[in-house]
Amino acid sequence: MIVTVDTWDLPWITMVAEGGRLVAPLRLHQYVWSIGFTKHDGALISEEPLTVCGFVPMQGAGAWEPNLRTIPGCGIRLAFEDGTPMPVDQLAPAFGMAPSTVRTHVTVGGEEPFDSLTLYLAGALPGFCRLSVDPDHDTGLVSPPPPHWPGAAMVRGRSLARLAHERIGDSENGNGAYEFVIHGYGPAGHLAATEMAEHVRHWQRNHRAAPCPHITVQPKDATGPTGAYTDGLHVFHKKHTRIKIDWPVIPGEAAPAALADVQDHEPCCPARSQSGRVATVPATADYWEPLWAGGRRYREVTSTEAAMLADHVGPGHGRPALDIGTGEGSLARHLPQLGYRTIGIDFAPSAIAAARNTQRGDGPAWHLMDFVSDDLSALPDAAYAIVTCRLVYRWIDDKAAFLDRVRQVLAPGGTFWVVTELAGRREEDDPYRHLGITPAEAEILTAGWSVVRTADLDVLRCYALRP
């Protein structure tokens, strides 16, 4: 079966015989690839190179919904063709200030295709969209505007990051040499740009050298072992099918991430430290919400980590425990098992919803709350025997003020349990290297407690702190 019309979905999947072939120009987030599939166990499988192509668009019932939104007052349009369309009005002020630029040190030739990068970013980044500028209303805020086709972008609350490139020199074939750079707009623009840049470097290091991604298309209602991928990253939900893209890991040349950090340019963000490390940019609820809503999850609590927690905090005997920045409740769920009457708080509504949805039987109570700015008297107990905070401290802007608030809610003789990554524990070119806290931030954390105990867990350090 050969489809010669640009199509957003593959409703013909059930008509292809086992072992049969289907070739179609398939749209994923507005990019169109000619893909050859073979039917195997009810799924269409492709493990062959893709070609970007252009065909006449499908019309009628099979026409796609571009989900185009215009940011008021600046002529900038965002298309959410796959994934969940997001509100965009809140982004208008983001384009009132100069963007922050994060260099990737990943290069590309003038006429060299980089379609695999855009397909990778479309699947890796919740809130992914395509950015274009309406030439009739262009106010020059996105400079230069994406040439030819809408550019890859992602929304993070009131901030946005977009993929751009800068000419860095000449090439032998005369087409020039370019570097991918990410422009970040809005209060968490630098953070969003850093996140996107990490993914560009990750693609460079692991996937760019792969000849093609592996694509599996299943009928939407498929079940069974291969029907397990209903959600998550690199899964695209269509009307009749769901499409999963697996990226083979073929080690490529790593981009010099350390150098990139030092040369990042962040006009609208706090200055970096002398070590060249990216300064902490406050990650607000606006930043976290689309990550949770888009399916991003964080590392699970292993049995080793759970045992460390139990060793350091001891049995609860019905006393209250508070988990700050609980997310989906990975850590909070372990506390009732130790006998603590537990509450998990987070300021991202989708995180709290995910915690509630994954709850089986009795467990913690979940509250939507900003621990940094909300009134602490909104908490159900005045003091907590233990306060926990896992993979959160790094993101707190004013760490001293945060710790003061923790002390306010910690009962006398209680324990503050913190799990955080330490800087310098990953390889130099690891894209997540910046997640660690610096020695100075660790010093702020541990100062002023009468008991400080620590336990190490690969890149993480666990702290048990007592007043």
- Interface residues with ligand SAM (CB under 6 A)? 288, 298, 325-327, 330-331, 345-348, 351, 370-372, 390-392, 395
User: What CA–CA distance (Å, rounded) separates 168 from 108?
Assistant: 10
- For ligand SAM, the closer of residues 185 and 395 by Cβ is 395
User: What CA–CA distance (Å, rounded) separates 231 from 243?
Assistant: 10
Burial class (CB in 10 A: 0-12, 13-18, 19+), 91: buried
**Pair 270, 142: CB distance under 8 Å:** no
The minimum distance between CB 249 and ligand SAM, in angstroms, equals 24
- For ligand SAM, the closer of residues 298 and 432 by Cβ is 298
- For ligand SAM, the closer of residues 179 and 421 by Cβ is 421
The minimum distance between CB 25 and ligand SAM, in angstroms, equals 39
| DSSP tag of 2 | B
The minimum distance between CB 392 and ligand SAM, in angstroms, equals 4
The minimum distance between CB 188 and ligand SAM, in angstroms, equals 12
Residue 7 sits at φ, ψ, to 5 deg, of -125, 140
**Pair 364, 320: CB distance under 8 Å:** no
- For ligand SAM, the closer of residues 32 and 435 by Cβ is 435
Residue type, 330: S
The minimum distance between CB 153 and ligand SAM, in angstroms, equals 22
Q: Which of 294, 9, 15 is nearest to 128 (CA)?
A: 294
- For ligand SAM, the closer of residues 27 and 390 by Cβ is 390
The minimum distance between CB 305 and ligand SAM, in angstroms, equals 10
Q: What is the DSSP string of 86-100?
A: ---GGGGGGGGSPPE
Beta strands 241-246; 235-237: pairing state: antiparallel
The minimum distance between CB 454 and ligand SAM, in angstroms, equals 18
Q: How many CA atoms lie within 13 A of 124 on its CB side?
A: 20
What CA–CA distances, in Å, run from 356 to 292, 337, 345? 13, 17, 12
Structure tokens at 233: 């990253």
- For ligand SAM, the closer of residues 186 and 327 by Cβ is 327
- For ligand SAM, the closer of residues 78 and 406 by Cβ is 406
Determine the 3-state secondary structure of 278 from DSSP: coil
